[in-house]
Chains A and B, each alone.
Chain A
Amino acid sequence: MEASISGAAVRGATGREAKRARVEVKGVSKWFDTKDGQVQALRDVNLTVLDQEFTCIVGPSGCGKSTLFNIIAGLLEPSRGQIVVDGTPIKMGMAGRLGYMQQKDLLIPWRTILRNVTIGLEIQGRPEGESRELAMRYLKMFGLAKYADSFPASLSGGMKQRVALIRTLVMGQDIILMDEPFQSLDYPTRVALEAELLEMVQELKRTVLFVTHDIEEAVSIADKVYVLSKGPGTVRDLRTIRLNMKRESPIDARKSAEFHEHYAAIWNQLEVVTNLRKESQHA
């Protein structure tokens, strides 16, 4: 709790200019070769994620969100431009620098929950006892300690996604990339997980880049929302979200007046995008 209050104070007093940039996307474009020739997925995308900031990227499906995500994660090479993390340009295959979480929980069915959480630590050769202790601490925080020895098959979708989140957090990287992590969950579970994520991220002082196509989700959890237009994806708008009630929970955030303002504004952006696209198709 203390962490989030002081965090808010910093935000209020000094503004975001005082924070250092953690992830910078600089002039990234991406073309894919298809049998119908080259298709441009991203066009000159620029964005910045500041320290301990919760940044969302929203955009309609097919706007190249996942492409951008994979480029930032170092799993895909940009055709042009570069990704800079903490001032250093990153290259392909630099796995392990950034935390990484996807829509699929990807829990390993033959491993217990505890051993699913420790898989990353195990790969990095950390001592087993230490890993177990760390994992148990996180499982307790999320109220999942009693499932430590269960197998994934016996958990609900929401619980599995929590375990996937813990598996990411436990690795200790302070920058975390998330690609529609709660997409496959039902609405109430998703809102619950958003709240838990927000609380954890503030408590652990992590920096998050969160990709989603759900405007509501983005506005209720983010400090900053980048709106991406449809193919080729490019940044159409940047909105700084400052909801009074946001720090309490995403549920309360949805009730505030500013929430609806932001929601409508972003929604209009996307509408404009679709209209433009229709016109260009007719032309």
Chain B
Amino acid sequence: MHEAVMSENMLTVQQPPASTRKQQQRAENFQSIAVRAVQITVAVGFFALWEWGARSGAISSFLFSSPSEVWALALARIRDGSLIYGAYVTGMETLAGFVVGSLLGTALGLGLWYSRFLARVMSVFVLALGSIPVLALGPLIIIWFGTGIESKIVLATVSCVIVALLQAYEGAQQVDKDLIRLLTSFGATKRQIFTKVVIPSSSSWVVAAAKLNVGFSLIGAVIGEYISSQHGLGNLILIAGANYNISLVLLGVFSLMILAFALSSFVGVVEHKLLGWKLAGR
């Protein structure tokens, strides 16, 4: 038996020699650095060109503002707290809608695994609901839930619930049938199969949906703010646009960009926690 184990190890622990691996690693590192350097150059170049254009008069600074103006405005708005508050409101609306929508959609999508009949009945309604543009629902939801934060949360929820549902359902359908048979051979109940195999194996689908949905929720929240609101980044952009305050519009847009980035990094952290096993072999 020991001989057998040893011969097996000799066969399986055949990795490329250390020197080649190091070279590969080095090449990989070099490329990551190069990618980052080019990215920074492009961004800096873009802002420099824009600033130069605005100052030299090559582009209209009234229509396009300039990085320095946007930056000055950003500092002022951060100092008086209004920018942070706006981002906070929009961020909370998005996050609340995202969490509610993802949980609801995932629960429904996975739950449909229990009944293939119900899933088939529901499919046409899910597609019908999913095909409605969120913008079209805006006025109704504002009337039903008011002009406060609630209507934005509902819009953000509606924006992501269908994608979460479809992804979770698809994930549940993709579960390895042999794995289910194995558990059945141990005498597993349907509930045990659901909790031990279906839910965990759908997790990569659920996380993939979440990555998309963070963006969709943000769209939903901003749409709500556009239709009727007193606060938030959408409100800020809407009012600035009405006043031809291009610098403020651009500040709002950049703030939304940063907010979206922060929210998707948050999902990335959750993904890493949920799907740590996927990275184990690499």
Given A96-B185, A189-B11, A192-B4, residue A104 in contact with residue B280 (CB < 8 A): no
Q: What are 6 A-B pairs at a CB distance below 8 A?
A: A100-B182, A106-B178, A110-B277, A151-B277, A193-B8, A249-B4
Interface string of B239-282 (1 = CB under 8 A from A): 00000000000000000000000000000000000010110111
Nearest CB to that of B188 among chain A residues? A123
Q: Note all chain A residues with C-beta closer than 8 A to B5.
A: 142-143, 192, 196
From A108, A124, A142, A249, give the contact of B187 (CB < 8 A).
A124
A195 surroundings in chain B (CB, below 8 A): 1, 4
> Interface size class for chain B?
20 to 34
Contact B200 A100 (CB under 8 A): no
With a CB–CB cut-off of 8 A, which chain A residues contact B278?
109-110, 153
User: Given contacts A110-B200, A119-B196, A158-B8, is CB(A153)–CB(B1) below 8 Å?
Assistant: no
Chain A residues whose C-beta falls within 8 Å of the C-beta of B7 in the assembled complex: 188, 192
Q: Complex: how many Å from CA A153 to CA B282? A: 8
Contacting A at CB under 8 A, from B168-185, are: 176, 178-179, 181-185
Q: When A154-B281, A189-B11, A196-B4 are in contact, do A110 and B201 touch as well, CB less than 8 Å?
A: yes
In the bound complex, do residue A153 and residue B187 qualify as a contact, i.e. CB atoms below 8 Å apart? Answer: no
Complex interface: chain A residues within 8 A of B176 (CB): 106
Chain A residues near B277: list those with CB within 8 A: 109-111, 151, 153
Report whether B179 and A199 are in contact in the complex, using a CB–CB cutoff of 8 Å. no
Rank and list the top 10 A-B pairs by shortest CB-CB distance, nearest first: A153-B281, A151-B280, A156-B12, A192-B4, A120-B186, A96-B187, A110-B277, A143-B5, A123-B186, A123-B188
Q: Give A residues with C-beta under 8 Å from B.
A: 73, 75, 95-96, 100, 102, 104, 106, 108-111, 119-120, 122-124, 142-143, 150-154, 156-159, 171, 186, 188-189, 191-193, 195-196, 199, 249
Alpha-carbon distance between A192 and B6 when the two chains are bound, in angstroms: 9
Chain B residues contacting A95 (CB-CB under 8 Å) are 184-187
Residues of B200-214 at the interface with A, using a CB-CB cut-off of 8 Å, are 200-201, 203
Given that A102-B178, A123-B196 are known contacts, is A189 also in contact with B8, CB under 8 Å in the complex? yes
Question: Which residues of B line the A interface, CB within 8 A?
Answer: 1-2, 4-5, 7-8, 11-12, 176, 178-179, 181-188, 192, 196-197, 200-201, 203, 275, 277-278, 280-282
Q: Are B4 and A108 in contact (CB under 8 A)?
A: no
Q: How far is the CA of A158 from the CA of B10 in the complex (A)?
A: 12
Chain A residues within an 8 Å CB radius of B186: 95-96, 119-120, 123-124, 171
Contacts of B282 in A (CB 8 A): 153
Q: How far apart sit A156 and B14, CA to CA, in the bound complex (Å)?
A: 11
Q: Of A123, A150, A199, which contacts B183 at CB under 8 A? A: A123
Q: Tell me the minimal C-beta distance from A56 to chain B in angstroms.
A: 20
The residues of B that contact A158 with a CB separation of less than 8 Å are 8, 11-12
Residues in A whose Cβ lies below 8 Å from that of B187: 95-96, 123-124
- Within the complex, the shortest CB–CB distance from B184 to chain A, in Å, comes to 6
Given known contacts A123-B196, A156-B12, is B280 in contact with A196 (CB within 8 Å)? no
Cβ of A106: which chain B residues have Cβ within 8 Å of it?
176, 178-179, 182
B274 to chain A, nearest CB (A): 9
Task: Please name all residues of chain B whose beta carbon is closer than 8 Å to the beta carbon of A110 when the two chains form the complex.
Answer: 200-201, 203, 275, 277-278
